[in-house]
Structure 1
Amino acid sequence: MSTTSRSHRSAPGPLVLDTRSISRTPGAMSPIQRVAVAPSTIGVEMIAIPEGAELDLDLMLTFVDEGVLVTGSVSGQAKIECARCLGEFHAEVAVDLTEMYALENRASAEGAEQDEVRLLDGDLLDLEPALIDAFGLEFPLSPTCTDYGHAECINADTPRPDGVSGETEGRIDPRWAGLAEKFGTTGTDEGRA
């Protein structure tokens, strides 16, 4: 987890929250329920929430002695490329957040680098780095269609994971079709003498 240092913003982004609505009494809470736009892509090449996509924020900001605790969930539509069939589709993804943002001149702020605590920027907190970390840990490295509710791969020409396509004898896996065209064969040379 990375820390966020104080960097006075001229125009807060869509994932920057103003904490002035919370009374500075320990235990004071303020709910945040709104839709925000992702200011940048959140994720990796094969699975990511694209820049400009809507994110549903359902959060609670709680003032504590050392700063502001953010808890709740964030969800949105991710663009996914299946690692098996290379088909693209969209699916709803969500993460639960529990993030501490330290106030300046407090013990937790002084040890922020070692404790991996984020810092408030005056009265503002930036959720974007926390969401990048949270979704990065949640997303699989090699997503597949079946990971996201499909019974099988959306590209019907891709063989099943066990390597048996079953329906048609001699059908070539589309991932290897270029080699078959180049060498002019659809079978194997096994068993030939």
Structure 2
Amino acid sequence: MSTTSSSSRSAPGPLVLDTRSVSRTPGAMTPVQRAAEVPTTIGVEMIGIPEGSELDLDLMLTFVDEGILVTGAVTGQARVECARCLGEFHTDVTVNLTEMYAIEGKAAANAEEDEVRLLDGDLLDLEPALIDAFGLEFPLSPTCTDYGHAECINPDTPAPDGVSGDTEGRIDPRWADLVEKFGTPGTSGTPGAAGGDGAPGTDEGRA
């Protein structure tokens, strides 16, 4: 579990939970079922839950001797850019949480200081735990097929066993920026293209 510590807030954020509703009797439990807005984007460049979108919290807060144990599921909708075809789509994503938030000074004796999440008085901040949890869940290079699509959603991208640009008149979107800058390889007037007066790769050009 990654490092987190208590963070003082003048106004609790949407992912900060007030635990005063949980009885301070070991084993006492309080459910938390509500929507919460994402204060900052959670994820990586090609997949993430955008800032301002909603997360559905379905959690249970349990009081134990050390503090508050948080268990349950959190669901949101991620924006995905396929690493292969560059197509964009949205998909539901869920992580299961089991996180301990210790009362300061009551962390387990064998716990490393940088592995303990601390309560901030009666408040606990879910955001760092969710960043870690979704970060482990999200692939660095997501593809359409990772998230239920039978094939890439961008029809201009060749199949994995195809040849890029093998269909006349279609430009593979992965190389579109290069084509726009340098032109289409193999056409007259394109730097380095075969054919054309004095172009490299022709007898005239070597004369």
TM class, shorter-length: 0.7 to 0.9
Report the equivalent of 1:152.
Answer: 151
* Contact persistence 2:76–2:92 (CA under 8 A): yes
Instruction: List per-residue Cα deviations over 1:91-150 (Å, max 9, x = no partner).
Output: 101100000000112143894525x12000000000000000000000011111111121
The answer to whether the 8 Å contact 1:66/1:102 transfers is yes
Measured in 1, the distance between the counterparts of 2:66 and 2:12 equals 23
Report the counterpart of residue 66 of structure 1 in structure 2. 66
Aligned amino acid, residue 181 of structure 1: T
Report what 2:184 is aligned to: 181
Distance in 2, Cα, partners of 1:28 & 1:38:
28
Residue type at the aligned position of 2:147 = Y
Deviations 1:62-85 (A, max 9, x none): 011111110000001101100001
Residue 60 of structure 2 is aligned to residue 49 of structure 1: no
- The answer as to whether partners of 2:86 and 2:173 remain within 8 angstroms in 1 is no
In 2, the alpha carbon distance for the partners of 1:164 and 1:181 equals 15
Task: Work out the CA distance in 1 between the residues paired with 2:34 and 2:51.
Answer: 17
Percent of matched pairs sharing the same residue: 78
Give the TM-score normalised by structure 1: 0.87
Check 1:9–1:156 CA distance in 2 against 1; reply closer, same or farther (3 A cut).
same
**Residues 76 and 94 in structure 2, CA contact (< 8 A), matched pair in contact too:** yes
Write the distance in 2 (CA, Å) between the matches of 1:119 and 1:157: 50
| Equivalent AA in structure 1 for residue 187 of structure 2 | G
SS of 1:96's partner is: strand
Equivalence for 1:80? 80
Equivalent residues of 2:59, 2:70 under 8 A apart: yes
On the 8 A contact 1:102/1:109 being kept in 2, the answer is: no
Task: Provide TM-score, normalisation by structure 2.
Answer: 0.81
Q: Which aligned pairs between 1:117-156 and structure 2 lie closer than 5 A?
A: 117-156=116-155
* C-alpha distance in structure 2 between counterparts of 1:168 and 1:5, whole Å: 55
Distance in 2 separating the partners of 1:170 and 1:112: 60
Say which SS state the counterpart of residue 2 (structure 1) adopts.
coil
Per-residue deviation, residues 141-189 of structure 1 (Å, max 9, x unmatched):
1111111121211110101122358x9468553333515525418xx99
**Which stretches in structure 1 are left out of the alignment for 5+ residues?**
none
- Give SS of 1:131's match: helix
Contact 1:74 1:94 in 2 (8 A): yes
CA offset at residue 6 of structure 1?
2.9
Farther-moved stretch of structure 1 (149-158 vs 75-84):
149-158
Q: Does 1:163 align with 2:162?
A: yes
Pick the structure with greater CA Rg: 2
AA aligned opposite 1:184? T
Paired residue type of 1:119? L
In the other structure, the counterpart of 1:102 is 102
Cα 1:9/1:53, change in 2 over 3 Å: same
- What CA RMSD, in Å, does the superposition of the two structures yield over aligned residues? 2.7
